[in-house]
């Protein structure tokens, strides 16, 4: 098969074209110009984009990594030659299903190529995707080969009868899968059955335990019931005696209430009479203290008034009394012209002084009489007698009122005690804690609580028993599971023996497979290293080791330099292509910067080898260096393509 032309809207490629020829193609481009994008495009045109892939180990899937920068869906076409025909593959789709839709037609027509089905790489090259990725497709920094059942089947067909339907790895994988299905660490059918047996055994043990506990609590319920009946028969007579004692106390309390009611009525009558007598007093219900304070103030005022009445005429007034008549006589005797008016004036003054004095005395007497009148007395002694009489009446009323209130309190207390006694009787209150009925009642209460507790426990066990299967069904299930367990154990032993036998057969196949692949890889590695190494050895997983010329032992790949390691696995890849991808329609070999770590001499040797191999299959080498093109200047049949940078 030969790829002629590629057109891609894929990643950074926007309707970009790449035309190729048969033989060796060197595609030169600087970094970030789409070399790896073209490689991925070729692979996904042949095998499609996995829309279900997810990011793994920090590596994004192709559907995300190479989504067109323009935002349009992935699409593209590939023109190729195979079987003497030109065919055009076209892919399109949508963001959720990139390049899902495939079209395969005869180039230049609308005539479909019906033999090309999805994936077309399997129809065109005869190999699945994983074989293509491990042989003819060498991605950037991914020359090292990993094993797969498909690749092993492809190679083993060359060392056996040619049957590609069976591989050692696939057979071992199926046996291992069957063994894991039966037992893998703590999972599989056998551990599951063992877990079920353990669970059923635990259920059986729980069933036995619950049955035994239920029997114990059922017996305890019967025992508690008998104890309650016994205590109830003892409690009734004791409560009857207690009720009789309460009735006696109730009768005494009622008699006491009647007596206190009579005494209170007498006290209320005496207090009412004293209150009437007190209200008849001119001072009402004033307390002796209040009346005494008022009387004390009034007595002081009476004393002050009396002192004013008894005060003598002062010398000035006396002089006026004598001087005014003397002056009047002198004026009359002297018979002065102004004597009559003067005498009259002096007379008026004298009359005024005498009148004023009498008015003041009258006012003082009236005020003093008013004060005595308020107390119903005429003098201080009578007033004090009135005060003493009021104090006696008030004290008598206070005493009788106190007795009445005291009797009311006694009556209220007696009535409350009577009500309590009646309530005690009606409510059949509990006897005193230290009495015989109370002790029996406490024992009865404890027995009832014990009965309730035992019934709850019994109900719990019986409820759990109803949720558990019967003993017979559990034993039957355990027997069936143990029978199935024995069968699976026998199958597991048989599978284990078969796996061991197959492993021994695989070793024999490997002894035939590995030498041929190793010999081809050795031939290519000798050329790539210009004879520095003379042997390559591979294990079943395609891990390689190499031996320096002249050395007695080989070195594992981890001991090689980066360049030598890349050359070693390029030799293995080329050997795989020769073994796994033979035939007339050979698969194109695609290399993405596979020679970057090669020095100039080994790069020249590698290009020389690739040139020879390109005579039988198309080889496409993508490189970021111009070195490869210069080293092939003398080969006119090599297609050199320079991709311009759009950065």
Write the pLDDT tens digit of every residue in 11-43: 999 999 999 999 999 999 998 888 999 999 999
pLDDT over 60 (residue 163): no
Mean pLDDT of 115-122: 86
Using DSSP bridges, classify how beta strands 619-623 and 2-10 pair: parallel, antiparallel or unpaired: unpaired
- Higher-pLDDT residue of 134 and 354 is 134
pLDDT over 80 (residue 94): yes
pLDDT of residue 154: 47
Q: Is the N-terminal amide bond of 119 cis, ω within 30° of 0?
A: yes
Give the residue among 644, 622, 574, 614 at the shortest CA–CA distance from 143: 574
pLDDT of residue 144: 58
pLDDT of residue 177: 81
pLDDT-derived band at 340 (thresholds 50, 70, 90) equals low
Distance, in Å, from the CA atom of 12 to the CA atom of 40, rounded to the nearest integer, reads 12
- Count other C-beta atoms under 10 Å from residue 501's C-beta: 11
Contact 376, 389 (CB under 8 A): no
Count Cβ neighbours within 10 Å for each residue of 325-353 and write b for 16 or more, e otherwise: eebbeebeeeeeeebeebbeebeeebeee
Most confident among 85-99, 299-313, 486-500 (mean pLDDT)? 85-99
pLDDT of residue 161: 34
- Higher-pLDDT residue of 416 and 19 is 19
DSSP assignment of 200-217: HHHHHHHHHHHHHHHHHH
Mean pLDDT of 265-269: 85
pLDDT of residue 347: 65
pLDDT of residue 115: 79
Mean pLDDT of 510-527: 79
Distance, in Å, from the CA atom of 148 to the CA atom of 580, rounded to the nearest integer, reads 13
Mean pLDDT of 234-248: 76
Note the pTM of the prediction, 2 decimals.
0.50
The three-class DSSP label of residue 336 is: coil
pLDDT of residue 160: 38
- Higher-pLDDT residue of 352 and 405 is 405
The two three-digit tokens of residue 578, written as one number: 């020769």
| pLDDT-wise least confident of 299-308, 363-372, 452-461, 576-585 | 576-585
Mean pLDDT of 384-403: 84
Mean per-residue pLDDT of the chain = 82
Give me the residue spans of the domains in the chain: 278-420
- Count other C-beta atoms under 10 Å from residue 547's C-beta: 17
Distance, in Å, from the CA atom of 128 to the CA atom of 119, rounded to the nearest integer, reads 8
pLDDT of residue 647: 45
Write the pLDDT tens digit of every residue in 44-57: 999 999 888 888 88
Distance, in Å, from the CA atom of 622 to the CA atom of 611, rounded to the nearest integer, reads 14
Contact 346, 320 (CB under 8 A): no
pLDDT-derived band at 510 (thresholds 50, 70, 90) equals low
pLDDT over 60 (residue 152): no
pLDDT of residue 165: 44
pLDDT of residue 15: 92
pLDDT of residue 494: 87
pLDDT over 60 (residue 159): no
Give the residue among 172, 152, 176 at the shortest CA–CA distance from 164: 152
Distance, in Å, from the CA atom of 621 to the CA atom of 72, rounded to the nearest integer, reads 29
pLDDT-derived band at 202 (thresholds 50, 70, 90) equals very high
Contact 70, 9 (CB under 8 A): yes
Q: Is the N-terminal amide bond of 587 cis, ω within 30° of 0?
A: no
| CA angle, residues 85, 89, 90, in degrees to nearest 5 | 155
Beta-bridge mates of residue 640: 26
Distance, in Å, from the CA atom of 647 to the CA atom of 640, rounded to the nearest integer, reads 22
Which is it for the CA torsion 267, 273, 278, 284, positive or negative?
Answer: positive
Distance, in Å, from the CA atom of 21 to the CA atom of 641, rounded to the nearest integer, reads 10
Distance, in Å, from the CA atom of 625 to the CA atom of 605, rounded to the nearest integer, reads 16
Query: Could you tell me which residues come within 8 angstroms of residue 291 by beta carbon, excluding any fewer than 6 positions away?
Result: 283, 387, 390, 391
Mean pLDDT of 345-355: 71
- Higher-pLDDT residue of 452 and 169 is 452
Distance, in Å, from the CA atom of 583 to the CA atom of 147, rounded to the nearest integer, reads 22
Contact 252, 475 (CB under 8 A): no
- Count other C-beta atoms under 10 Å from residue 527's C-beta: 18
pLDDT over 70 (residue 448): yes
């Amino acid at each position: 098969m030969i790829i002629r032309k590629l057109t891609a809207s894929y990643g950074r490629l926007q309707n970009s074209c790449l035309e190729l020829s048969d033989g060796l193609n060197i595609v030169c481009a600087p970094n970030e110009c789409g070399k790896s994008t073209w490689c991925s495009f070729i692979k996904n045109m042949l095998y499609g984009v996995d829309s279900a892939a997810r990011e793994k180990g920090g590596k994004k899937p192709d559907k995300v990594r190479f989504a067109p920068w323009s935002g349009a869906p992935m699409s593209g076409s590939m023109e190729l030659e195979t079987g003497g025909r030109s065919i055009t593959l076209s892919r399109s789709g949508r963001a959720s299903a990139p390049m899902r839709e495939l079209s395969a037609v005869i180039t230049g027509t609308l005539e479909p190529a019906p033999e090309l089905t999805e994936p077309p790489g399997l129809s065109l090259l005869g190999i699945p995707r994983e074989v293509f990725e491990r042989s003819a497709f060498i991605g950037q920094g991914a020359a090292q080969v990993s094993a797969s059942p498909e690749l092993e089947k492809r190679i083993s067909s060359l060392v056996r009868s040619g049957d590609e339907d069976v591989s050692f790895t696939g057979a071992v994988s199926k046996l291992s899968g069957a063994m894991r299905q039966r037992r893998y660490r703590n999972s599989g059918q056998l551990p599951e059955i063992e877990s079920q047996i353990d669970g059923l055994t635990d259920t059986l043990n729980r069933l036995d335990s619950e049955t035994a506990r239920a029997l114990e609590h059922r017996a305890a319920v019967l025992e508690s019931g008998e104890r309650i009946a016994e205590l109830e028969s003892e409690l009734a007579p004791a409560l009857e005696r207690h009720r009789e004692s309460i009735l006696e106390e109730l009768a005494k309390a009622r008699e006491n209430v009647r007596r206190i009611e009579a005494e209170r009525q007498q006290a209320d009558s005496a207090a009412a009479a004293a209150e009437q007598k007190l209200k008849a007093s001119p001072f009402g219900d004033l307390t002796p203290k209040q009346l005494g304070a008022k009387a004390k103030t009034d007595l002081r005022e009476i004393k002050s008034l009396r002192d004013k009445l008894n005060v003598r005429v002062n010398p000035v007034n006396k002089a006026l009394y004598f001087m005014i008549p003397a002056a009047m006589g002198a004026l009359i005797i002297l018979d002065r012209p102004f004597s009559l008016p003067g005498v009259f004036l002096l007379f008026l003054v004298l009359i005024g002084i005498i009148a004023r004095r009498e008015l003041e005395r009258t006012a003082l007497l009236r005020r003093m009489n008013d004060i005595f009148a308020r107390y119903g007395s005429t003098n201080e002694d009578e007033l004090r007698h009135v005060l003493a009489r009021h104090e006696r009446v008030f004290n008598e009323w206070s005493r009788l009122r106190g007795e009445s209130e005291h009797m009311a309190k006694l009556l209220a207390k007696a009535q409350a005690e009577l009500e309590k006694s009646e309530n005690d009787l009606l409510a059949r209150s509990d006897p005193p804690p230290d009495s015989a009925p109370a002790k029996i009642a406490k024992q009865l209460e404890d027995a009832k609580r014990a009965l309730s507790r035992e019934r709850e426990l019994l109900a719990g066990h019986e409820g759990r028993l109803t949720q558990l299967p019967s003993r017979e069904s559990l034993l039957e299930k355990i027997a069936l599971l143990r029978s199935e367990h024995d069968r699976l154990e026998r199958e597991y032993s048989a599978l284990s023996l078969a796996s061991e036998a197959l492993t021994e057969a695989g070793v024999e196949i490997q002894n035939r497979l590995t030498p041929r692949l190793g010999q081809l890889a050795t031939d290519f590695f000798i050329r790539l290293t210009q004879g520095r190494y003379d042997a390559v050895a591979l294990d079943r997983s395609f891990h390689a080791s190499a031996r320096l010329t002249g050395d007695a032992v080989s070195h594992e790949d981890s001991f090689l330099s980066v360049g030598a390691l890349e050359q070693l696995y390029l030799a293995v890849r080329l050997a795989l292509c020769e073994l796994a991808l033979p035939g007339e329609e050979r698969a194109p070999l695609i290399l993405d910067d596979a020679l970057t770590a090669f020095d100039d001499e080994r790069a020249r040797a590698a290009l020389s080898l690739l040139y020879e191999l390109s005579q039988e299959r198309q080889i496409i080498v993508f490189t970021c260096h111009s070195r490869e093109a210069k080293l092939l200047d003398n080969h006119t049949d090599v297609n050199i393509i320079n991709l311009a940078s759009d950065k």
